Amino acid sequence: MELINSAFCEEVKSIVNEAVKFIRNERLNFNQAAVEYKGANDLVSYVDKTAEKILVEKLSTLIADSGFITEENTASISNKDYCWIIDPLDGTTNFIHGLNLYCVSVALMFQNELVLGVVHEINTDECFYAWKNGGAYCNGNEIKVSIVDSLNQSLIATGFPYTNYSRMEAYMRVFDYCMRNTHGLRRLGSAAIDLVYVAAGRMDSFYEYGLNAWDIAAGCIIVKEAGGEVTDFSGGDDFLFGKEIIASNKHTHAPFLAVISNAFNH
């Protein structure tokens, strides 16, 4: 664990930036004919795949014999002490349609604990990052979650279900509550960006179900290091692989968790 420090994080950020530059350049002449479908409403292109190869190749040199959990299956070895969790392009649908909200997300686990995260939002060129016990930052400036202390003053981020509609009724109960009792809801199309915006105090809470580890891993440690809380819908720790997540500041997490628990256990 001595490995994880500011200097190591800088190396990871540099590698992430190579993928960022590639994606930014490809967007200039992107052709929608290159789009493939992994499933209903689940899109991918050569841009995602190539960016992931860049990341896996470069990150492999930082830690010998490290594992990988990757969205596009460039590498799939998870039974290692150190394991990278990579989303080469979070917000693919935004990217394909020319909506400028998408990012590269890279996290590192050590013995199943998140110890580092980097989320680089490509169009704003904002790089959010954190490492265990090191704080959270955006472009060199320390960030903190908001100090909003009531749900009715909160701005909530969420993501709409796009392949798994099995919990829609419960999801819509929370949606209805937030519309009536908060400053509103925002759906950006990238869970990684949602999470780092919570970390930076731009959003007060985020909730979603049906996500994969690569969507949220980096954002989760950034939220925690920025002073926030991250749990599953029961208030437990099974958010990374459990397909449900709430992230909030310290003040609003418990009341928002109560709203979600009530809706999903209705």
- Where does the pLDDT of residue 74 fall: very low under 50, low under 70, confident under 90, or very high at 90 and above? low
Can you read off the two tokens belonging to residue 228?
């926030």
- Where does the pLDDT of residue 37 fall: very low under 50, low under 70, confident under 90, or very high at 90 and above? confident
CA angle 162, 230, 125 (to 5 degrees): 70
User: Using one digit for the tens of pLDDT, what is the confidence trace for 6-35?
Assistant: 999 999 999 999 999 999 999 998 877 777
Q: What is the pTM of this model?
A: 0.94
Q: Facing residues of 67 across strands?
A: 83
- Where does the pLDDT of residue 266 fall: very low under 50, low under 70, confident under 90, or very high at 90 and above? low
- Where does the pLDDT of residue 41 fall: very low under 50, low under 70, confident under 90, or very high at 90 and above? low
Q: Give dist(CA 168, CA 94) in Å, integer.
A: 23
- Do 127 and 120 contact (CB within 8 A), yes or no? yes
**What domains does the chain contain, in order, with CATH numbers?**
6-142 (3.30.540.10), 151-264 (3.40.190.80)
Q: Is the pLDDT of residue 50 over 70?
A: yes
User: Using one digit for the tens of pLDDT, what is the confidence trace for 159-218?
Assistant: 988 778 889 999 999 999 999 999 999 999 999 999 999 999 999 999 999 999 999 999
- Do 104 and 89 contact (CB within 8 A), yes or no? yes
- Do 108 and 1 contact (CB within 8 A), yes or no? no
